[in-house]
Every structure is written in C-alpha cells, then in structure tokens.
Amino acid sequence: MKKMEKMKITTTNNKYFWAMGTEIVIDIFTNLNQYLHKPEESLDLAEKIFQQNEKKFSRFNRESELSMINDNLKKETKVSAQMIEILGLCLNYYKITNGYFDPRIIENLEISGYKKDFKSNLVKQTLNRHSVKIEGNLSKDLALDKNKKTVLLTKRIDTTGLVKGYTVDEVTEKLRANGFVDFVVNAGGDIFVSKVGAEISPLNIEGLEKIIFKVSNEGIATSGITRKKWKAEGKMKYHLVNPKNNEHYPTELKTVTVIAQKTVEADAWAKTLFLMGLEKGLEFAEKNSIKALFLRSSGVYKMTNVMTEKLWTA
C-alpha cells in the first residue's frame, strides 16, 4: 500500500502488533496542528481495543464471553453491549445474504480440524466425523433481547466472521474521535482507509499485482482459500464453511475482494460472495451494487461494474 503522491504528509506514526490470529498494522499521518491527542497514545488505545475484542469474542479462549454463552445453551444470558451488537449483525447478515453468512458453522469448523488458532500450528486433525447439516432459521437458535441485554442460544455459534472487520471500524471511530483524519487500519487484509485515499493491491495476492484500487473513507476486505488451509485425511480443508453445503468449496475461485462503507460490511460480503461461487456471487453482487472482484484459480478475474469505478489509474 502506498500514499498518493499528491498528498503532503509531514509525519507518519506506525504500530505493529499481533491480534486475532494476524498482524495488525496501523498508520497515522499527521500535520503539526492536525490532531487533539498524541498519536502514540491513540495507537496504544487501538492495540488495547483489538486485544479486548479478541479476549471477548474468541472461540479459542475458554474464558471469553463467546465461550460463556456457548456453554449456556437454552439459558437466557446477560451479555455486553458489544456482544449484542455483534449478534445483531450476525442476524442481519444471515438475512440479507439468504443464509450464506451463518455463525452456526462452529461445529463443522471443529470437525474439519480448526479447533485451535492458526498461530498454534495445531490445525491438523479432524474429529473423524461427518460434517453436520445446518438446519432451520438462525433466529430460532439465536434470540436477542436488546432491552434486557440478554441472548438465548440453542446452538453454539462462532462470531469471528465479523469481529475483525468490526474491530477495525471501532478503532477507526476512536481515531476520528481523537481528531485524526488521515490513517489506515489494516488487520490482516481487513482494511479501513480514512480520508486521504490510498492505492491498495488486495493483499498482494498472486495474480492481482497489477490491480490497484482507489480507496478513501472506505473499508476493503479479501476472503478466500489462499492462507488458512490444511490437509486432513487426504483432503484439503479451509476455514470458510458453506452453510448451504458443508462439503462444497468453490474451487473455481481463489479470492473475493469487496470495498464497502464499513470494513465489517466488506468482510461479511467477501466471505458470502466467495461461498456463493463465481456465477451466483457475481450475479448477486451486480444485482445489489456490491463493489467486488472475483479472482479465479486460473488467475483470471472478473469484477462488478461498480468495482471498476474504484480502479486506480495514474
């Protein structure tokens, strides 16, 4: 990623750290009189937010709030305002994606061997069980009471499909509240670019080196099978699970990249469109005016009409 040459930025403040199974990189670009708080303090706050959200929403942490509600199935449980917000987003994306975004995939992730964080290098063995068919509407298994701030689950869930993008957006709002207008928050490819505009090549994925997007006050996310994958029982396994067909992976696709107003939105759509596959995903994205690029396994790519408007031309 590089700044546009026409922007005159006097100072760049950076922070690098590891959270949510990936490297987080935050850049704040400042002029002498541009900000209300010290950049270093805001960068430390950003790291704290990532760490707190990881602790709250991680399915790998037995003491997380997510693990707590998963351990209390069929019991109305008091939860934090953040958990209410995330679960509300899960219900919303389940509805607008026609069920392609479904947090109830947790059991199939575990069966396929994804029971530990990738950083632990323990994603190897399956449970020697067939995948479980996800049945019924999500609202039957996930009931929220926003007034009482309670949730009642009847099936376990995994919220990590949204949490990274959600946290990027939360950090974005904190940085803006502290007076910063020019910055980039990058959580392993879930990115928000504030105001200044930037040239971004999606994760420098092989086959997309020459594709550069112009992004300003927007989130961008890429989802696919290029990174989190492993082999078990002679078969390739992936961290993306199709709730419509547990055994099906769209092998014709390598990645899908989406640009949206919020990073959490880009994150959810990138996963959903990938699971839909090229033909159905492209048709759905065009119909709903989603800025999306589909990279085939062959290296050939297709993008929606609105995505072509984001291409950077010198």
Per-residue pLDDT of the chain (314 residues; tens, 9 = 90+): 544 444 444 567 899 999 988 899 999 987 655 555 688 999 999 999 999 999 999 988 889 999 999 999 999 999 999 999 999 999 999 999 999 999 998 887 776 665 555 554 444 554 455 567 788 999 999 999 999 999 999 999 999 889 999 999 999 999 999 988 889 999 988 999 987 666 665 544 455 556 788 888 999 998 876 565 545 555 555 556 676 766 666 577 888 999 999 999 999 999 999 999 899 999 999 999 999 999 888 878 899 999 998 887 65
DSSP type of residue 22:
E
Q: The whole model's pTM is what?
A: 0.85
CB-count exposure of residue 40 (10 Å: 0-12, 13-18, 19+): exposed
* Helices 81-96 & 39-57 angle (0-180, nearest 10): 70
pLDDT value, residue 85: 96
d(CA 196, CA 134): 43
Output the CA–CA distances (angstroms, integers) from residue 150 to 69, 71, 87, 127, 147, in the order listed: 10, 15, 11, 32, 8
Query: In CATH, which superfamily holds the domain spanning 1-59+161-194?
Result: ApbE-like domains (3.10.520.10)
d(CA 244, CA 129): 18
pLDDT value, residue 208: 56
Most distant CA pair in the chain, distance:
61
Task: Give Cα 143 distance to the centre of its chain.
Answer: 23
Phi and psi angles of residue 157, each rounded to the nearest 5 degrees, phi first? -135, 165
144's CB contacts (< 8 A; 6+ apart) are 84, 87, 88, 91, 150, 151
Task: Give Cα 18 distance to the centre of its chain.
Answer: 16
The topology (CATH level 3) of 201-314 is T-fold (3.10.520)
d(CA 285, CA 269): 9
pLDDT value, residue 161: 84
Strand 77-78, strand 150-153: pairing: antiparallel
The kind and range of the H/E element at 41 are helix 39-57
Per CATH, 1-59+161-194 and 201-314 having the same topology is answered yes
The kind and range of the H/E element at 91 are helix 81-96
How is the chain split into domains, by residue range?
Answer: 1-59+161-194, 65-158, 201-314
As assigned by CATH, the class of the 65-158 domain is mainly alpha
Rounded to the nearest 5 degrees, what angle is found at the Cα of 12, between the Cα atoms of 10 and 18? 175
d(CA 74, CA 97): 26
Q: Is 254 helix (H, G, I), strand (E, B) or coil?
A: strand
Report the candidate in 196, 80, 194 with the shortest Cα–Cα distance to residue 144.
Answer: 80
Q: What is the residue whose two structure tokens read 């037995």? A: 62
